[in-house]
Structure 1
Amino acid sequence: MTGRSNGKVWDMDKLRVYIGWDSREDIAYQVAKQSLEKHATIPVEVIPIKLDDLVDQGLYTRDIDPLASTEFTYSRFLVPHLAGYEGWAIFVDCDFLFFGDVAELQQYMDPAKAVMVVQHDYTPKETTKMDGVPQSAYPRKNWSSFMLMNCGHPSTQQLTPELVNRETGAYLHRLQWAQDDEIGALPTGWNWLEGWYDKPAEGFPQAVHHTRGGPWFKEWQNVDYAAEWLAEAAEYEAKA
């Protein structure tokens, strides 16, 4: 079974995963994609969210925001539109390393929910992140960095290109486009914030989020799971 949106045809039998892509962090995207696909036991289609492509298609018209930490700060909310407002899709930041199987997420696909997220109670300790980008604190911080989105839900269907280009970052990232009872909870392991959560006594989180800064930066190579990230990157580069 196939679907079509904006001229793109996709296999509806595959779980669509949209990963934010930033021109400064291509290797982060590649590692996130490779590690996700490596552990997946169901068919997945991984799609990069590239800002220039969305601009060229006329889907993204926002002015440049000097406070935006990535090129996909706002474009992530176009995922339901890109998915044709049908089925379920994942959005994930590029600074993730996967150890879990996204097939497990199928059990959380509650049709009553517009979006499923890890509902962090998180206040960053640092004033800067990544390559010197200012770190900001706000309600529901990092909830939108990993979203399992019910693209056909009435609240999610509100995320039209017009709304995404018009609304404030606070409205979008605090998920104010959905009612509180339409926001479901995922286990912490699916958006495990490095430097915030304690490492599990055994095993690995399903998805490690290097939100402060990742091992692709020289000054961030002593973070948790850096060795695993670097090994994944080396494997990718050996195949490239």
Structure 2
Amino acid sequence: MLDVFIGWDPREADVADIAKFSIERHAPVGSVNVRYLKLEDLRADGLYTRQTERRNGQLWDTISEAPMSTEFAISRFLTPHLAETDWAVFCDCDFLWRVDINDLLKLADPKYAVMCVHHVHNPVETVKMDNQAQLRYQRKNWSSMILWNCRHPSNAKLSVEMVNSLPGRDLHRFCWLEDHEIGEVPPTWNWLEGTSDPAIDPNVVHYTRGGPWFDEWQDVAHADLWLQERDLWQASLKTGQRASA
């Protein structure tokens, strides 16, 4: 069993459902336990206490003094505290999985505390998705898909208190780890639409700028794949049967 956590935001609840559906559709029955990181639930459990507010219609993290494009901008770093398996995966909700997520475990190396795609991502856009601010920070998008070694001793340094008190820019650069503790996986495991090499046939598509669920993002690369997955998901809701890959 592999614990998988998907970032959840009420504005993109269906998008998260389709990401979850794509994971479960490609994985053997019973091999994954997919859960959402819902801020309301994490607050109720006392795991998320960061102060947030609304500024000009956008969620704002007062510790970071920066906008949050999604509710799960910080909560992903609670994964080691929530996972029951030795290794776990976090991904943003705007992901489409095209292969068995368990194949990612074949790359797991116990010497690393986390493993991810080491993107070089310096976006030129100032906004993304539904007019959310597009921020630049060190190791941008590395944390959008993380293979966590939950029992690695260095991850024990990442306390709940740290998650709730450090600026987001520090957490997203894995500030509690040494560089040699951050392993790398191939870019096909977090292929950024509009940024990654278009010649790559991705295992996982990440619609980081915005996906075809937005009217203005209908023509992005691999929009057809997401729309096909959406149709399969909707059909499964009607039949109550699990779709297979």
Aligned residue in 2 for 1:180: 179
Aligned residue in 1 for 2:137: 138
Deviations 1:97-137 (A, max 9, x none): 11122222122221110000000011012110011011011
1:49 aligns to 2:46 (yes or no)? no
Aligned residue in 1 for 2:243: none
Question: Which TM-score applies when normalising by structure 2?
Answer: 0.88
1:35-184 mapped onto 2 (5 Å cutoff): 35-41=22-28, 43-64=31-52, 66=60, 67-84=67-84, 87-184=86-183
Aligned residue in 2 for 1:214: 211
In 2, are the aligned partners of 1:111 and 1:150 still within 8 Å (CA)?
Answer: yes
Aligned residue in 2 for 1:31: 18
Deviations 1:182-236 (A, max 9, x none): 00000000000000123236xx301000000111111111101111101111221
Deviation at 1:30, TM superposition (A): 1.0
Distance 1:159 1:99 in 2: 31
Aligned residue in 1 for 2:63: none
RMSD: 1.3
Aligned residue in 1 for 2:232: 235
Quick one: which amino acid aligns to residue 70 of structure 2?
A: T
Deviation at 1:82, TM superposition (A): 0.5
Distance 1:132 1:50 in 2: 22
Distance 2:173 2:233 in 1: 34
TM superposition outliers: structure 1 runs of 4+ over 3 Å: none
2:88 is paired with a residue of what secondary structure?
strand
1:55 is paired with a residue of what secondary structure?
helix
Distance 1:232 1:100 in 2: 13
The percent identity for this pair of structures is: 51
Deviation at 1:173, TM superposition (A): 0.2
Distance 1:224 1:103 in 2: 25
Aligned residue in 2 for 1:8: none
2:79 is paired with a residue of what secondary structure?
helix
Q: Which runs of 5+ in 1 are unaligned?
A: 1-13
Deviations 1:49-97 (A, max 9, x none): 100000111110001152011010000000000115x500000000001
2:120 is paired with a residue of what secondary structure?
coil
Aligned residue in 2 for 1:10: none
Q: How many residues are aligned here?
A: 224
Distance 2:110 2:236 in 1: 39
In 2, are the aligned partners of 1:99 and 1:207 still within 8 Å (CA)?
Answer: yes
